[in-house]
Amino acid sequence: MRALCFALTVLSLTVMGCGDDDGVGMDTGADVGTDTAVDTVVDSSPSDDAEEDAAPDTGTYVDVSLYTALDTPDDELADDAVAILTGDRARCTSCHGLTQDRVVAWGEMTTNALGCVDGLDPNNRDDAESILECFRTDGTGDPEKLGLVATAPHLAWFERAFEVVYNSGAAIQRTVFGSAGQMPRPPGDPVTQDDVDVLLTWAARGMPGLVERFPGGGLDCEPDIDPRVGTHVAEMGRVGWNVINREEGVSMYGCPDGEWGRACLKELQTSDDVDYGEGWATDGTLIRILFEYPYQSAFWTRSSADGRYVAHGNSPDTDVGRAGIVDLERGVVVIAQATYDPSFFPDNSGFLIQGVMGDAGGRGGGGFCRQSLLNSSPELVTFDEPECTQLRNIGLYQHVGAVAGGDYWTVFSQFVSDNGGHSTTRDPVSAEFDANARMTMVPIVHDGSGYRSLTARRFDIPFEGDATISNSSQLVVTRIRGESGEQSGFHLYGIRAELEDGEYNVDTTNLGTYCIRGAKPDFSFDERYITFHRYLTDDDAAEFGFEDADDPAFREYRRQGAANVYLLDLLTGRTTRITTMNPGQYALFPHFRADGWVYFVVRDNPRGVETVAASNAVAE
């Protein structure tokens, strides 16, 4: 048992171990860490009793460690860690704003993670199972449980744990685990064991030097709408994807005889027809109930331009595939072997879902398929179909657009994960974007034989993130981090991409600033509106007709939370709430289909189901 004892000792010392005064709020304990010799932490060295402890069914004992604690001085260690986190190789900042708050949060997650595996030996089957269980949610790796340990699932310590638990199935299980739990996501390169040693040593010491290396900051919001917004909206009214799709005869879901917009979906129940939907629709609007499913979706939901397909992370059978595509026409959920973040192209031609699951070789990246694949009524999308291809240099939180007669574009940036509403969610979605935030635009071009994503164009957008591109690819909206650390508004950019001498010249211009809060914005097809959701806070009590947040009648909202869908008119800056959800009901991830119906998902905690619904608030 020597190894276990040793591991326990060292781990407990290091986790408690002592950073500088600017640690991350963990219990710093006694200062025993900085000048110690190189220790092997969470070690699996064989003990005298190794034969008892090791996994007898997997053969030889393998000497592996999650990480090796370094004796590097704090300052140097902090510099090394920051270099890894912010460097081009790991590309953490491609997705995450490395604000002080966020890194602190990662530190706390990491402490919990290390504590969870404290003393466990991946060579021992029971221990190995415990290790994996420490980090899993719904069968896959959970970054929030892993913290910075999420940089290590591809390395030897995890490899041994999977091998011991799953034998020949280890590689597949590790791929599934990593599809959500491995950081960085593609296109970032996996970090090395040396880097993991640095990161986990730094976290274990309490992240010394964090404050000075990750200062705060943000942007105040000044409302502004450039007159060119009007010009653009007028142009889209003539040649936007709503016009093109209508003229191309795109058959909208629920629109008989070529109907369009408000005339559609009449065969479906309204929210007023169902008891749980009482009061959902705001004055002058109608909400239709499209579909209901008994499992919890993960992260955002998006739909095809024709409104027939509604996709999200998670599925009815996550062993088969971790994303679901609801086919409203057939009333079924098609399982997709990807993970989350679906996008549909505005010309109704295709879709993209991130985190393609794979065989032992692993795949990852975005799976991009022609929509005709879905029209053929599949039960499963594997992304091996001839209609599909893999795009590997598209970061998470991507949104897509298309230039009529031109190329597809996708944009991604630092983002804030938002998977709220599964339980009481009362905090507004944060705006953890840092001073080095950048927006990346990637053209997806047809090279003659298939689609390829090309070299990215990057733009500095300090303290902004969650970038979303419009359907025409001519606008981008971002969320702005305010000085307080919370969102201060939305920033609207104009995008001009021109092919000159065989290369794209891409320029951005400021078109507007809208000083309101909201998450997961999405553009309408006529590009006049964005829609977004907002979690209910105490500040909203008056808007919902309560005296204030202490009003007894508001109590259920405080207890169960709620979220609602809003529209922002980019021309006028006017914000309109288009749902009034009841306590425990979260209207989330609103987005448009081509004829202006706003689809959204309702995470209905009191009923334990999720509902896809649609509002006609600005349907044509």
Which of 262, 370 has the CB closer to other proteins? 370
Nearest distance, CB of residue 171 and other proteins, angstroms: 24
Per DSSP, the three-state class of 617 is coil
Cβ proximity to other proteins, 251 vs 425, nearer residue: 251
Q: 73: number of CA atoms within 13 Å, CB side? A: 2
CB 406 → other proteins: shortest distance, Å? 3
d(CA 176, CA 356): 10
Residues contacting 548, CB < 8 A, separation 6+: 538, 541, 542, 554
- Of 168 and 449, the one with the shorter C-beta distance to other proteins is 449
Closer residue to other proteins (CB): 197 or 306: 306
Question: With contact defined as beta carbons under 8 Å apart, do 95 and 396 qualify?
Answer: yes
Q: Which is nearer to other proteins, 335 or 388 (CB)?
A: 388
Q: Please, which residue, 158 or 291, has the CB nearer to other proteins? A: 291
Side-chain-facing half-sphere of 389: CA atoms under 13 Å: 15
Question: β-strand 609-615 against 598-604: which pairing, if any?
Answer: antiparallel
- State in angstroms the smallest separation of the CB of 454 from other proteins: 6
> Which residues sit opposite 334 in a β-bridge?
325
CB of 470 to other proteins, least distance (A): 16
| 145 sits in which H/E element | helix 143-146
Residue holding tokens 């949104």?
Answer: 399
In Å, the largest CA–CA distance within the chain is 79
User: What's the min distance (Å) between Cβ of 242 and other proteins?
Assistant: 10
Task: Return the number of the residue (444 or 618) whose C-beta is nearest other proteins.
Answer: 444
d(CA 376, CA 387): 11
Residues that bind other proteins (CB under 8 A): 238-239, 243-244, 247, 249, 251, 253, 306, 308, 329, 349-350, 369-370, 372, 375-377, 386-389, 403-407, 445-451, 454-455, 498-499, 502-503
Q: How far is the CB of 381 from other proteins (least distance, A)?
A: 14
Residue 382 Cα distances to 149, 237, 322, angstroms? 29, 37, 11
Distance spanning both ends of the chain, measured CA to CA: 71
CB of 446 to other proteins, least distance (A): 4
From the CB of 403, what's the least distance to other proteins, in Å?
5
> Cα(565)–Cα(598) distance, rounded to whole angstroms?
9
Q: Which residue lies nearer to other proteins by CB, 331 or 386? A: 386
**Angle, CA of 293, 563 and 467, to the nearest 5°:** 95
Helix (H, G, I), strand (E, B) or coil at 232: helix
Nearer to other proteins, 329 or 620 (CB): 329
Task: Output the DSSP codes for 267-311.
Answer: TSPBGGGSGGGTT-BPTT--EEEEEEESS--EEEEEE-TTS-EEE
Nearer to other proteins, 226 or 407 (CB): 407
The pair of structure tokens assigned to 284 is 């002058």
In angstroms, give the least distance from the CB of 370 to other proteins: 6
Nearest to 434 by CA among 381, 498, 398, 480: 480
Closest CB 308 distance from other proteins, rounded Å:
6
- For residue 404, the minimal CB distance to other proteins (Å) is 7
| Peptide bond before residue 342 is cis, with ω within 30 degrees of 0 | no
Nearer to other proteins by Cβ, of 88 and 447: the residue is: 447
Torsion of CA 35, 39, 42, 43, to 10 degrees: -170
Q: How far is the CB of 195 from other proteins (least distance, A)?
A: 33
Nearest CB to other proteins, comparing residues 227 and 502: 502
Do residues 164 and 132 lie in contact, with contact meaning Cβ atoms separated by under 8 Å? no
